[in-house]
Amino acid sequence: MVLKHHIYNYIAGISLSLVCLGAFGQENAPPAPDLGQLHGNFEITAQYYNEDSLIGAPDFPERVGANAFLNLIYVKGNFESGVRFESYEPVLQGYPTNFEGSGVGLRYARYRKDELDITAGHFYEQFGSGLILRTYEERALGVDNAIDGIRVKYKPFRGVYLTGLMGKQRFRFENRVQNGDGRVRGFDAELNINELIPSLAESRTQMTVGGSFVSKFQADRDPLLVLPENVSSYGGRFSLTRGKFSFLGEYAYKINDPSADNNFIFKDGQAVFVSGSYSKKGLGITLAAKTIDNMSFRSDRSETVNNLTINYLPALTRQHTYNLAATLYPYATQPTGEVGYQADLIYKIPKKTYFGGRYGTTVSINYSGVNSLDTTQIPENNVSDSLKTLQGYTTNFFSLGSQTFFKDFNIEVTRKLSKKTKITASYVNFVFNNDVVKLSPNKGTFFTDIAILDVTYKIRPKHTLRVEAQHLWINSVPTKVDSTNLNVLSEGELGETISAERDNGDWAAAIVEYTFSPHWIVSVIDQYNYNNNNKDLRIHYVTGSVVYVNKGTRIMLSYGRQRAGVFCVGGVCRNVPASNGLTLSLTSSF
C-alpha cells in the first residue's frame, strides 16, 4: 500500500508542476522554468468469461479478469526516470499464475552526459543477437525478465562501446515486483572498425566486432549433487556489410549448468548463428543457419517455461501472420539442442510485363527446417559416480541428427490487379514433430497443407473491404516407440509402431474486415474445426471485433470463442486456454 501512495504522490506532484507552469506562462509573467517533460502510455485488457463446456472453457468464478499497465517517463536535461504501475485483478487466464494484485512493477533512474550512460533500477539489455543475454518484455506472452540493478554504458573512444551490468531478474508480481534468487553479471564490448579508424570512415565496407561475458550466481542447496554456483558464458560476434552484401556471425559458449531443463547433466553448452544476405532493387536473398547445444541459461536452475531466462534463442523459422499458419502449429525453440537453417527469397516481377502485370507482382519463397543434433549417449556406468559429473551425451557439433523437428515451405504471391483491388495467395507446408514440440496429446509427426487467399478492395476513399479465406489439411505418420516406456525412437531402432491420429482434424477459417479510415475497423472471423474423429468437437470459433483509433488511442471490443492452443512470438510460446466471452482492450500514449 505504501508503494501505491508513492506513485500517486508522484503523479500528483507532476500535475501540480504543470499547473504552476501554466500560471507562469501568463502575460507579463517571468519566463517559465524548465520543468522537463512527462510522457507515457496506458494499456488495459479485460475479459468477461462465459463457461463453455463444448470448447473446454472452464467456469471462472470472478467472471472478469484484467491486466493493466501505466508507464510514466519524466525527462529533464540529462536526467530520465520512469515508473510502471501494474494491475492484475485478477490476471487474465493463460498468463503466469504468479501475477496477482496491483503495485509498482518497474522503476528506474537514468543519467546521460557526454559518453557516459548510467541506469539504476530496472532495465532491458541485449548483447549481440542475445545468445548469452537478452532481457525484454513481451506482454502478449507474459514474459518480463528485466534486470533490477545497475548498468553503465561508456564510450571511451570513437568507435568503442562498453557496457557493464549486474543485478537480479524480475520473477513474479504479487502486489509488487519480486526478483529471483540468482544474480546476473555481464560485460560487453563492441568495436565499430569504420569509426575507430578514420581512414575507413567513408569505406563501402562496414565492419563491427564484439565480445561478451555473462555469469550468474546461485547458491547450491541440492542435497545430492555438487552444483556449480557460478556459471559463466562468453561469446564473440562479427558483422560485415559491403554494398549489396552483408554477413553476420556469432558464437557463444557456456560452462556446465545442471538444471531442470537438461535433467541436471554436467555438460557445457554452445551455440553458433550465421546469416548472409544480398539485396538490390526488386530482389532480396537471405541464408541463415544455427546450432544450439544445451544452451538453456536461467538465473534459477529449478525454473522452467519462460521464467528467469537470461538468454534468447530465436527460432530460425518464418513468423507467419495468417491465422491458421501462425497459431495451430508454431515451432518453439528447443534449448537443449537443435540444428536449424533457413532460406528466404523475395523478388518483385517488374510491372508492365507478362508475369508482372500492370502494377508488378511480388513473390516470396521461404524454406526452413530444424533437426535434432547428432549426439551419442554416454552410459552412466562410464562416469565416476563420486564426481557427480554426468555428461549425458557427446555432440557432433553442427551435424544434423536423424530426427526432424520441424519443416516449413511457403510461397506467397502478391499482385495489385487494379487501383482498387489487391490479391495475395499463399501456400504453406508444415512437417511438425509433435513428439518433440508437444502441442497436443496426440503422438506422431503431422503433415499440414495450408492454402490462403487474401483480397483487399478499396470501395471508395477511406473505405476498404478485406476478405480472407484459409484452409488447413492435416495428415500424420505412425510413430515408433519403446513398448516399455513409450519413449519415441529414431529411425532404424527396433520398437513398437503405433498409429498416430490426425491430431484435431482439418480447419477452415474466414475473415471479413471493413475499414473506415482513419478511425474504424470492424471484423468477423470464423475458425471451423471439422473432419476430426469426434463429431461433437466439429465446432465453429466465431469472434466479432470493433476497433476505434484516434491519434494515440486505440480501443477494441470483441466477443466470441477462443480455441485452446499455443501462442508464440519468435520461438517463445505460452499456452492459451479455451475461452468464451467479451474482451475490451484499450491502449493510449501521451
pLDDT digits (tens, 9 = 90+) for 173-213: 999 999 999 999 999 999 999 999 999 999 999 999 999 99
pLDDT of residue 511: 97
Write out residues in the chain with pLDDT < 70, as ranges. 1-32, 380-389, 477-501
DSSP string covering 415-449: EE-SSSEEEEEEEEEEEEEHHHH--SS--SEEEEE
pLDDT of residue 186: 98
Q: Specify whether the CB–CB gap between 309 and 301 falls below 8 A.
A: no
The β-bridge relationship of strands 421-433 and 565-569 is: unpaired
Bridge partners (DSSP) listed for residue 230: 217
Grid coordinates of 188: 560487453
pLDDT of residue 73: 98
**Residue 127 half-sphere exposure toward CB, CA atoms < 13 A:** 31
Which stretches of 350-420 are assigned E, i.e. beta strand? 361-377, 393-416
Which stretches of 22-98 are assigned E, i.e. beta strand? 37-49, 64-76, 79-88
| Residue 575: closest CA among 177, 178, 136, 92 | 92
pLDDT of residue 564: 86
pLDDT of residue 91: 94
**Residue 404 half-sphere exposure toward CB, CA atoms < 13 A:** 15
The β-bridge relationship of strands 160-174 and 99-113 is: parallel
pLDDT of residue 85: 97
Q: How far is CA 3 from the centre of its chain?
A: 31
How many CB atoms neighbour CB 7 within 10 A? Answer: 17
pLDDT of residue 501: 57
Gap between the Cα atoms of 541 and 533, Å rounded: 18
pLDDT of residue 440: 82
Whether this model's pTM surpasses 0.85: yes
C-alpha distances in angstroms, 543 versus 244, 461, 524, 539? 45, 27, 6, 13
- Sorted by sequence, the CB contacts under 8 Å of residue 321 that are 6+ apart come out as none
Grid coordinates of 383: 562416469
pLDDT tens readout for residues 86-132: 999 999 998 888 899 999 999 999 999 999 999 999 999 999 999 99
pLDDT tens readout for residues 415-468: 999 999 999 999 999 999 999 988 888 888 999 999 999 999 999 999 999 999
